[in-house]
Structure 1
């Protein structure tokens, strides 16, 4: 790649400045008369920045420039000054790069800004690109000649975080993209978010002092704290002091609600919230009192779910409002599809200059699912920037998700400069990272976003599932076209194993969607089984090959998690193999009529026939599960004739953070007349619910019995009530069931 030799516009923010007239030839024919200079009193970061500059200049030209302190400069040599060597007065986050009399000055208003300025110089003027750890494009040039420059930029977003292990585990890459090394820089590490239960664990206080906790209806429950109780304020304040003593280097602590909306509705709390016009009223009154005790620290709190709407009271100066956009539809920009959030953002902006945005960029129930929200990243970050948000946390999945490297890269770039062009960034990354396969990956990105746009009523949710889109942007025809694009992409880089591995990782989301479409028996081509000309049914070999490829790609790239609930790729593979085994079993109940004696709710169109349709549920409750909220499941299957049976099986789902629990017991009964039922057997849940229960799991309740004639089978699954210690205490729980297998 040729270096940029055109005259560079001199920019300070968006204002043009005059430039000098003398060009700079840093390297000519493998030689240089430049040296890199830092202050005698330079910090370690500034010294490291000179080494970074030296390193990349050598990689580009094979020439190593000397690094010297200011007091040891060599007479007669041109200089590249790194740091405040010319004693400029710059803003804290400002970077400045300019030339003067043949010398080059790379400067910043702080140590970190100096570091940012070096990487900005390398990228902007020397065409260095860092796409992902171990994937860079550093040009090779025998000559480095630059036109005069006078560039200044001050990022409006001053704390930039992309929740991606690419940055957390690779600090050099984080420096290159100018984002933080961790999700919560300067926070007390064990008190970053949802801290009420940490300050006042129910195991310690609830039994002896239920009045410390939320009044829900006519009962106190340990879901949240009672924020008008003065003893609660004292205990929390003492806890905060203890945390700061334990972590004296920390400057921020979160004093924030637990992750539920079961806030206190006692008389005092209700009165304050009514006066303030929002449940955030009690929260800010409470947090303000804590903040007054620690004037030299920052007390962070959430504007999240029930506290998202701003109250009337102003937060104290040292209160950091963390405003969260969790509810928003991601199919279009927040300003368009989530106007309530945009209004709340504006409202908080009128109350405080200390706002941190907690935004979300992937699907947390299915990290690897297609999630076409890339076009919203830029307008959303612009919205936050335009409303004076200086600290933005983009909650990516941390663990690999769909187009993980691309998402991480573009999000970091836009946090540094929201005015960058998205399409330019997309082309830059896909061509640089996927090489010859780049155009095909771009076509996929374009196609899936256009397909979503054709369904403007589709709600793209952070807690959704691929199955929701099987009649939209993941319909069978589109799935086939996406697969073809990735086949073409692999073919384009077949001779480049490193790049081919990147493409295989990129296609995992479409392979995952295809596996889920097959689990649902979406069409003849997307099914778990195939039937030969003689009517014999067997496992679809395309599905087993796809599952192998998916699992192998995950293993090769250290991809271990499917979702935020801890459901692993290995568990997904094992459950899918179980589904294949289930699908090939003879099933006398398949396609038979099911009547529900209790009322299902919302999911699977409330159609009990989902229990015998041959499609199998996945790890999300959206995926083919019949749900019952707050009641037991009781259904009857008509086998259409009296016949001997020797086994019955049905699967149940557990997602504990969404109040989905395994039934406490399942009872099977048989009948020949649909009137008189005989018990066939009862199975207790072998893993009763407790605080350590697996968050996301599937369990089969299998009953073996001596062959006996039945026509009707009744299944009763008893709901497990929500325990008092669960974050949804006081709310009904769910039972989710899927395919009934009878033999």
Structure 2
């Protein structure tokens, strides 16, 4: 059981006993496939107590063949019992914290007691895992040893209480209810009646905006369906009415979210603006509103997000006693612990202020690259430090957001490690890792551990940045360089060789290799015609590397085996990814007269989004709707690029693409101007295209522009004049529009 690694090191299962009496201090639960023990529950057992008793009965029978009877204490008359729950017969501490449990032995009997919630169920699985050597590593995979004899320590006194009341590691394994209970984890689906960004679930714009725009935020002088207007009394009344019905329909829910939508657009009407000014934070109007709603339902717990524009705690109003703050770590890079990371300075200040404001603080943390779930993201060695930091600041719960229900980098390992540290931040991460590797990868464990250590070491040595919105392309210059990829690959080759005689184990190793293969494929798109690219010389041009179609197909098949549902947040499925590649494979390569010509820029590109620098415009490669690949990203300034073809050439046409992606504040230029020159000093305008202001549409799309030219030229100057400001329908605070161009083709 991952949350109790220290107990694993101290507790040893004793097999091979004879008889039913205890010898040497051990209790013999089963001997020779028979048992004199009975599982005893309280006279009126709770649902959790009944479940725990059934779990023990089932697993003990699977291990030994002995099926222990289950009886209530009013019917039981013997003296050899496994007492489950709050029976009259008891031992151990008088009180146990929520979800905590106690496993103990006294007078030849075993006691499994739990605090409120699922404590007794967690206690049953802890006994099975720590003392009976049953294991459940990921999803439905579990190990149940077999023996006719079962013995446990006769002096067992094992109290386990979780550090956090809410513990979620959001990976595919968490879709398995037994895995959750085995490892002491939870799911927001089971705890929240309403979760996350909830404003528009409560008051949907499709229902109300046309008739009541005043319910929604005032932004740039007009009402827009971006957030709610929290000073509007009818918004309050509708919210109360919503929760009256929702709570009646779901009375068992522990929490209810009242939280802004994901994005900007805070209301700036006079009343909301006044409240925020008084509080020194745009969370001011939010906390006042949530407190007001929470006062109508004093028996309920409400959560709200300290995220984006609501990250900063109000200076005056404190959250009510039944209001919980879910503070996000989204702005921090992940290569170093949050306690010291320079990028987390803002988060640390907000954490301190919220800690001073409320005793009900949760954290929304992130442990994956959302733009590329399969990209190796070795932040594993920081999990322990982060959990200890949260605990030290009196955080009560953590939502550790990984790849969700789709397979992502190191999903099984991440889930296992996080489960241990969410339960006990003081657990030894090295011991947890060693336990996982040996149990999950068996013969391949040494090489898998070396692979993980190599990734972690490379991040430190190359001073890489782990950005949850990064890319394997951006990291190709540091911890995901081709040289290091070769080193990682060699370790995984050894892991595969060690697993080749075990088909189940081999599948696990192949799943672990998917992120590295994904990195190679994605980087090959950016390298293009260069070394490590997917194109190879063919005559006077280039064609697809003949190995690549099969490689992509094999990758797609492995993705399906690993249950990869999407490659990024709301991104492509494996089949859609294959279609992207097939489109590239079928696309005729076009070099043009400007292929590999040097480019001079009047304004700088954005380096973190333009890894191939200015040569992006003449490398013969085209981008897709993901701005991470083969786009020259220019932020806040015009794109002014001059291409030098080396000598005067006859030119008939110049074409280029621009990307529009409002979600990432990327827009088509307002004007495109094409100029040509023979000497680089005197330019002649040969084409202009005025582009209408964009209407509200968040779809990412590529626009193609062609300009016919007649004559000769050596220099081509392209100007993409950016929009003066981000459109009013896309509130982005103080951000400026960006421009993305992928290739200048001269024919």
Match of 2:455 among 448, 456, 468: 448
Q: Compared with structure 1, are the counterparts of its residues 522 and 414 closer, same or farther at alpha carbon in structure 2 (3 Å cutoff)?
A: farther
State the shift of 1:583 in Å. Answer: 7.8
Q: Compared with structure 1, are the counterparts of its residues 296 and 669 closer, same or farther at alpha carbon in structure 2 (3 Å cutoff)?
A: same
Give the Cα–Cα distance (whole angstroms) in 2 for the partners of residues 591 and 79 of structure 1.
Answer: 80
Give the Cα–Cα distance (whole angstroms) in 2 for the partners of residues 402 and 81 of structure 1.
Answer: 42
Give the Cα–Cα distance (whole angstroms) in 2 for the partners of residues 724 and 87 of structure 1.
Answer: 69
| Larger CA deviation: 308-317 vs 199-208 | 199-208
State the shift of 1:593 in Å. Answer: 3.6
Q: Compared with structure 1, are the counterparts of its residues 671 and 242 closer, same or farther at alpha carbon in structure 2 (3 Å cutoff)?
A: farther
**Unaligned stretches of 5+ residues in structure 1:** 10-18
| Larger CA deviation: 208-217 vs 287-296 | 208-217
Secondary structure at the aligned position of 2:28 is classed as strand
Q: Hey, what does 1:95 align to over in structure 2?
A: 101
Q: Hey, what does 2:48 align to over in structure 1?
A: 45
Q: Deviations over 1:491-526 (max 9, x none)?
A: 111121221111111111111111222222289541
Q: Hey, what does 1:461 align to over in structure 2?
A: 467
| Larger CA deviation: 590-599 vs 405-414 | 590-599
Match of 2:408 among 401, 420, 438: 401
Secondary structure at the aligned position of 1:375 is classed as helix
Q: Contact between 1:668 and 1:716, CA under 8 Å: does it hold in 2? A: yes
Matched, 1:330 2:334: yes
Match of 1:490 among 482, 488, 496: 496
State the shift of 1:441 in Å. Answer: 1.4
Q: What does 1:158-557 correspond to in 2, within 5 Å?
A: 158-168=165-175, 170-180=176-186, 182-189=187-194, 192-202=195-205, 212-216=215-219, 218=221, 220-245=223-248, 247-312=250-315, 313-337=317-341, 338-398=344-404, 399-456=406-463, 458-521=464-527, 525-531=531-537, 537-557=542-562
TM-score with structure 1 length normalisation? 0.86
| Larger CA deviation: 220-229 vs 390-399 | 220-229
Give the Cα–Cα distance (whole angstroms) in 1 for the partners of residues 502 and 614 of structure 2.
Answer: 50
RMSD: 3.7
Give the Cα–Cα distance (whole angstroms) in 2 for the partners of residues 722 and 230 of structure 1.
Answer: 31
Q: Compared with structure 1, are the counterparts of its residues 548 and 666 closer, same or farther at alpha carbon in structure 2 (3 Å cutoff)?
A: farther
Match of 2:579 among 565, 574, 577: 574
Aligned length: 719
Matched, 1:625 2:631: yes
Q: What does 1:106-125 correspond to in 2, within 5 Å?
A: 106-110=112-116, 112-125=118-131
Give the Cα–Cα distance (whole angstroms) in 2 for the partners of residues 251 and 152 of structure 1.
Answer: 25
Give the Cα–Cα distance (whole angstroms) in 2 for the partners of residues 246 and 493 of structure 1.
Answer: 51
Q: Contact between 1:34 and 1:65, CA under 8 Å: does it hold in 2? A: yes
State the shift of 1:96 in Å. Answer: 1.0
Give the Cα–Cα distance (whole angstroms) in 2 for the partners of residues 349 and 274 of structure 1.
Answer: 21
Secondary structure at the aligned position of 1:448 is classed as helix
Q: Compared with structure 1, are the counterparts of its residues 375 and 139 closer, same or farther at alpha carbon in structure 2 (3 Å cutoff)?
A: same
Match of 1:587 among 587, 592, 599: 592
TM-score with structure 2 length normalisation? 0.86
Secondary structure at the aligned position of 1:627 is classed as strand
Q: Contact between 2:674 and 2:685, CA under 8 Å: does it hold in 1? A: no
**Unaligned stretches of 5+ residues in structure 2:** 1-6, 13-21
Match of 1:152 among 154, 159, 178: 159
State the shift of 1:371 in Å. Answer: 0.8
Q: Contact between 2:38 and 2:68, CA under 8 Å: does it hold in 1? A: yes
| Larger CA deviation: 618-627 vs 395-404 | 618-627
Q: Hey, what does 1:12 align to over in structure 2?
A: none
State the shift of 1:122 in Å. Answer: 0.9
Match of 1:59 among 59, 62, 71: 62
Q: Contact between 2:219 and 2:731, CA under 8 Å: does it hold in 1? A: no
Secondary structure at the aligned position of 1:53 is classed as helix
Q: Compared with structure 1, are the counterparts of its residues 484 and 619 closer, same or farther at alpha carbon in structure 2 (3 Å cutoff)?
A: farther
Q: Compared with structure 1, are the counterparts of its residues 30 and 213 closer, same or farther at alpha carbon in structure 2 (3 Å cutoff)?
A: closer
Give the Cα–Cα distance (whole angstroms) in 1 for the partners of residues 320 and 225 of structure 2.
Answer: 27
Q: Compared with structure 1, are the counterparts of its residues 507 and 650 closer, same or farther at alpha carbon in structure 2 (3 Å cutoff)?
A: farther
Match of 2:38 among 22, 35, 39: 35
Q: Hey, what does 2:17 align to over in structure 1?
A: none
Q: Hey, what does 2:742 align to over in structure 1?
A: 738
Q: Deviations over 1:246-283 (max 9, x none)?
A: 54554532222222244234554444434433322222
